[in-house]
Structure 1
Amino acid sequence: MDLIEAHGRAMTEFDARVRRVRPDQWGLRTPCAEWTVHDLVTHLVQEQLWAPELLAGCTVEQVGDRFDGDLLGDDPVRAWVLAAAAAREAWISPKALIRPVHLSSGRATSEEYGWQMALDLGVHAWDLAQAIGADSRLDPDLARTLLEYAREHHAEFAGSGIFADPVPVPDDASDQDHLLALLGRTP
């Protein structure tokens, strides 16, 4: 599966869970330490809003604090839908994967940035599903693809504070369970 397809599937997975959040669930805890459902969706909305800016060549300094704070307002689902649509449009533009991007961690290829975004969307779709009691099964092909990416880049994640330490799972666990465990979640 190529990056654009993986990103689209991961975004669809997260979108499906956001649309299932009931009004009384925004304050629920998620598997992400210290984050509520509201915090988790805010994080993903912020990431989606950053994507068009970074893919257009802006630096972190140029974007500044434009996307800080509570971006969900009175209609969190709408905030997500608008941010996701803008991000997806930026990712599928013909020149999206050509330019380097300026991330908080430094300069990177837009392809590397895209894989990071796809991984974050996919894993947080599971986190959100767990928090709200929705179906947490990810598309099996997406889980396999993200697992391959995560295994290749695990050394970069280790010690960065981005993900918790890996947890053990049986060798015969599903690709999804291996992915989640590698990123510090208990499947």
Structure 2
Amino acid sequence: MSGPDPATALAGARLLPVLTVPSTATAGPLADALTAGGARCAEVTFRTPDAEQVLKTMAAHGGLTVGAGTVRTPEQAERAVAAGARFVVSPGFDEEVVAKCRELGVPVVPGIATATELMRALKAGLDTVKLFPAEPLGGLRTLRALAAPFPGTRFVPTGGIDASRLVAYLADPAVLAVGGSWMATAAHLERGDYEEIRRLTAEAVERSMT
């Protein structure tokens, strides 16, 4: 049983902004800036105390398909979906998280870093994984080496990727989408620089469509 398809949850978008949002107060303006820049989906990481409320606020925005990231436990997955998450992303592969997401009826994209982890994910019936941390692991060379013996596997590389590497990743047929945080960094949010977030998002969206 493969479960809901992550490609459907991502609404065909090939760019996944990965957001670590320190305050609920920034959630609305951030959602506005991402939407104005053309983003169609976003991942809110469960790395801050306000993450659940941030996710709820951004999910209610209406312009974005919002998922939860850095989900490490079934309980977090349950809370994320209750807050409005349309998909779940994990830093690693955990059978219990995958099972909970299937029970909740939401797509899950677990992180993998090795062929062994990828085989475990495929054995669990998944065909889409997150390569994490992509750049420290060797970037596209590693992704292609993993994809070669597992045709049909789709990857969402995340970790250390910036605007200069986006197009190269998206050109690979095994890549479903690319996750990145350069469009809305902690510094941008601290300054309240939503215009810069909009600009960087629009630039990334344009590159993702080439």
* TM-score normalised by the chain length of structure 2: 0.29
Structure with bigger RCO (C-alpha 8 Å, 6+ apart): 1
* TM-score normalised by the chain length of structure 1: 0.31
Which structure is higher in strand share?
A: 2
